[in-house]
Amino acid sequence: NAGVTQTPKFQVLKTGQSMTLQCAQDMNHEYMSWYRQDPGMGLRLIHYSVGAGITDQGEVPNGYNVSRSTTEDFPLRLLSAAPSQTSVYFCASSPGGGGNYGYTFGSGTRLTVV
Amino acid sequence: KNEVEQSPQNLTAQEGEFITINCSYSVGISALHWLQQHPGGGIVSLFMLSSGKKKHGRLIATINIQEKHSSLHITASHPRDSAVYICAAPGNQFYFGTGTSLTVIP
């Protein structure tokens, strides 16, 4: 089992560029979520999905889009990158939402916007 | 105001010491999570608990739902326990503490 696979591991973008962070899981988990981790701030929820075709905003959704066309994949799109989006991004999945199940995290994507 | 508060922020211990990390939360939850982030950045789920105590090896997690408080204990600490420990409280959102950075010195 690969678990949760995130790509790329590192990325440098110029301000205004767009890109997609990929997240895939092979555990048939219904719940998937994206977080950003900034120094001194802890992890913050960007967007989440409770199943294919269903997404919702988290605490810090501005500047990001998501879609969930399949159970396995949950890509995160940066529409027009800004230096404030420099962060480490984690994708996680869980059998269900509500915090009632354990979470499996991807290895993270370190994004720098210059 | 942070929905999840952890203490201490940083902790240095000698190998073999008993370690306690505390977590207080203000949101209503069904279960509290403890996570471990390794120096390389990867995050693993350690515990999910809704009452009482759970034990896994040298790690013990306790929770008092009424007081909205949880503790993570490490017995006979070892340098490989050096990591950031994060508590997380799922509510309408999923709130995370800022983490406790633990360094265990041989």
Residue B91 confidence class, pLDDT cut points 50, 70, 90: low
pLDDT of the residue at A106: 95
Which chain A positions have a beta carbon within 8 Å of B29's beta carbon?
A: 99
Q: Taking CB atoms and an 8 Å cutoff, what residues of chain A touch B94?
A: 33, 45, 48, 58, 99
Can you give the pLDDT at residue B92? 58
Say yes or no for a CB contact (<8 Å) between B42 and A44: no
- pLDDT value for B24: 95
pLDDT over 90 at A98, yes or no? no
Residues on chain B touching A44 (C-beta within 8 angstroms): 96
pLDDT, mean over chain B: 92
pLDDT in tens, B52-86: 999 999 999 999 989 999 999 999 999 999 999 99
Cβ contacts of B67 within 8 Å, gap of 6 or more:
none
Q: What is the structure's pLDDT at A101?
A: 83
Residue A1 to residue B59: CA distance in whole angstroms = 26
How much is the pLDDT for A3?
Answer: 94
Q: What is the pLDDT of residues B20-40, one digit of tens each?
A: 999 999 887 888 999 999 987
CA nearest to B6 within chain A: A42
- On the question of pLDDT at B1 being above 90, the answer is no
First-to-last alpha carbon distance for chain A, in angstroms, is 36
What's the average model confidence in pLDDT over A12-34?
A: 96
A42 vs A81, which has greater pLDDT? A81
Q: What are residue B4's DSSP bridge partners?
A: B25
CB pairs under 8 A between A and B: 58
Pair of tokens at residue B29: 């939850």
Nearest CA in chain B to A39: B98
Task: Name the closest residue on chain A to residue B46, using Cα atoms.
Answer: A102
Q: What is the pLDDT of residue A85?
A: 97
Kindly calculate the radius of gyration of chain B based on its CA atoms and give it in whole angstroms.
Answer: 13
Asked if B94 lies within 8 A of A33 by C-beta distance, the reply is yes
